[in-house]
Chain A
């Protein structure tokens, strides 16, 4: 169940990469010079760090780590 939920989370995040709603938009500009094609994907990239933290929290192979530590 947990694996399936994480799989869905990554898939949804991948879907968010396809931001067709901003496709032809040059506005709004962030800081007066960053168009959506840059600021949306900049924020998206920062969000990936959070996504990875969630994956580490819930899907890290602890057993494998314990085994390699004990060797």
Chain B
């Protein structure tokens, strides 16, 4: 029996939950479809919010990153998110929820329009938010295709795997709206938490105990560094803590904040959120590092060999040869390879389903994009008044279909590496847009022109980094300094990206956003006092 059958059974359960399990006999309009009538209970709110933040990048990417970079991955991505996401959720979430309930907001742009008394600037913010969200959706479809292909041992080709995942997600988002999506995310999070622990124990036993595997790494000069953090510079590590600021600025997270039944639900959510991160990330990162000690999986040995060849001979190789080595090193399938080696068939299938759960996190983004389009564009420009709420909901459903089909077609045409990069830019872009939310909710003097300056700056900065990285090839070994002022290395090209004064671009991008919001707001006219006082008192 092929483990993919377990995945198909899982997808059938997901479809049932998303479409039928929690359907209401008399759904009541846009607020019910897009926000589950603002009535999600505490457990669903926490688990679904957490599931929404987990993606293919989180689960497959974290193990792959740890495989090549070592234990630093946990501090870099997990514990930094465990601090920044709950703190930003604590500051923004309850306020957003209360304003949404009081004034009927369904998207952040609706709030920005009201807060800063603007119309078209809101449309500009919507456009940038949507553009940054699309690569994320495409990568979800790609992850689905890749994972299903790997789990089935090639029985399900990439194009079919992507189509199955896209149709499943589209169906429950189309019929179930926010309620269906939230329950599916809850189910997926529980599944992953349960089977992730089982995977850790099984693989540990298969390796002959983790002590033995760690000892093996310590005794190898080439691999011992994976148990420390010497492969990542401290300044890069520090600046990575800016990335999780993107979470609260992601429209699907901000919109999800509006779905809670009661404001107090945020209390439990922000306390348990870091613990959920620990439960999922620690096994993923640890297993990614331990995979380096597995001697009898040829694909894993091939990745290690490619890494060592690139490190030893990289500068002497032609760019195409280096590209080929990097392709061989791609390690997002490392967890799946470990499962294939150590887990019995039925458990590998169930764990594969758990991984599919994380891969399918694009559901929330698709729904958010649909909510934003129908509220920020369709309703704002008169569609709701002219055609009514039923047409608005159906437009949202049509938008779900169009976005999914678009994502699937693009996923078949272009290599994943392009969108992997785009998602990285999207994280930086959203992090640099987070000052919009903080300024709207906490700073009386903020203005629409400050908001516009931040939005334009984000577009310029993201495009600038993308162009820079496409023009300047990555160096082999230490960063190549491109712009030096005195003894300061202002801009450098690194093997995996760009460094500004040794920091990731997201740090200066976010700080400049804060400065722009401050300076431009101070020299422009603020909204009327009665508007401001509804937000900041």
- Residues on A facing B (Cβ under 8 Å): 10, 13-14, 17-20, 22-26, 29, 32-35, 37-38, 40-42, 44-46, 48-49, 51-53, 55-56, 59-61, 64-65, 67-68, 71
Contacts and interface: CB of A to CB of B under 8 A. Distances in A.
B228 A48 contact: no
B285 A38 contact: yes
Interface of B: 70-72, 74-75, 78-80, 82-83, 86-87, 90, 94-95, 97-98, 101-102, 210-211, 213-214, 218, 224, 227-230, 234, 237-238, 241, 263-264, 267, 270-275, 277-278, 282, 285-286
B211 A32 contact: yes
Contact of B229 (A24, A51, A60, A71): A24
Contacts of A26: 218, 224, 227-228
A53 B271 contact: yes
A16 B79 CA distance: 11
A65 to B, nearest CB: 5
B74 A37 contact: yes
A18 B72 CA distance: 11
Contacts of B228: 23-26, 35, 37
Contacts of A35: 71, 214, 227-228
Nearest to A67: B98
B263 A64 contact: yes
B271 A56 contact: yes
Given A56-B90, A65-B263, A42 B282 contact: yes
A56 B282 contact: no
B230 to A, nearest CB: 5
B511 to A, nearest CB: 15
A52 B227 contact: no
Contacts, number: 122
A54 to B, nearest CB: 10
Given A10-B87, A45-B277, A53-B271, A68 B101 contact: yes
A65 B94 CA distance: 8
B102 A68 contact: yes
Given A14-B83, A29-B214, A65-B94, A37 B70 contact: yes
List the 6 closest pairs (A to B, CB-CB), nearest first: A37-B71, A33-B210, A26-B227, A48-B274, A41-B79, A32-B211
Contacts of B214: 29, 32-33, 35
B241 A52 contact: no
Nearest to B80: A17
Contacts of A48: 79, 82-83, 86, 274
